[in-house]
Structures are given as C-alpha cells and as structure tokens.
C-alpha cells in the first residue's frame, strides 16, 4: 500500500478563496482523521470519521470548515472562505479501529498558505 495520500502537497491561495484538501486513506482502514498543525497549537484534531460517518467534529474551528467522506477511499476538507489564520499544515491520518486498534498512519500533509 502507498500509505495515506494527500493532495496537494502545497497550496497558496488568496484570502476569500475556497480551498479543498484531499485525502485517500489506506485501503481497509475504517477510521479517518483530519489534523491541523501550527507552531502555536501543535497537532489539533479537526474531525474524525468512522466507517465514513463523522463521529466527532468538535475540533472544526468554525462554519468556514467542512469535511466529507463520500466513500471509504476518499475524504475532503474544505475551507470557504479562507483566511490568513488558516495557514497551517493539514494532515490526514487513517487507522483500523476494532478489537485491537492500529496506530494512526499519517499522510505527508498539505501546507496551506493563505495570503
């Protein structure tokens, strides 16, 4: 397996524009996480899906952020409209949750810069 695949790796956009980050989890994993990493706040959990269903979205900062998981092999994180304070590295991670859980496998991340 190629691991968790995120795209794009880098995104530079102007304030007010819509940004869509994409993630392909590891095949067979049933849980997916979106994290945001900044120097100030470290790794913050934004949202957690289990079997494609959002379980916990309490970390989503505000209504400008939305996430979907239409099937087991794809998820998106959308920011509309984007603001400079959204600049961060966004990670997607997947894992297999069951009788014995695996660790979370992270993608390479998307570095978002909003100017």
Residues at the interface with other proteins (CB under 8 A): 4, 31, 33, 42-43, 45, 48, 55-56, 91, 93, 95, 97-101, 103-109
Closest separation between CB of residue 16 and other proteins, Å?
28
The smaller minimum CB distance to other proteins, of residues 33 and 65, is found at 33
Closest separation between CB of residue 99 and other proteins, Å?
7
Contacts of 55 (CB under 8 A, 6+ apart): 48, 49
Report CA torsion sign: 72, 111, 11, 18. positive
For 84, phi and psi rounded to 5 degrees?
-55, -35
Closest separation between CB of residue 70 and other proteins, Å?
22
């Amino acid at each position: 397996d190629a691991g968790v695949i995120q795209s794009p790796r880098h995104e530079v956009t102007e304030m007010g524009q819509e940004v869509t980050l994409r993630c392909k989890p590891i095949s067979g994993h049933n849980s997916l996480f979106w994290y945001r990493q900044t120097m100030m706040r470290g790794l913050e959990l934004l949202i957690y899906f289990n079997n494609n269903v959002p379980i916990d979205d309490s970390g989503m900062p505000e209504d400008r952020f939305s996430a979907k998981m239409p099937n087991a092999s794809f998820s998106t994180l959308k920011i509309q409209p984007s603001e400079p304070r959204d600049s961060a590295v966004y990670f997607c991670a997947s894992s297999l949750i069951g009788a014995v859980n695996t660790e979370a496998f992270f993608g390479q991340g998307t570095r978002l810069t909003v100017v």
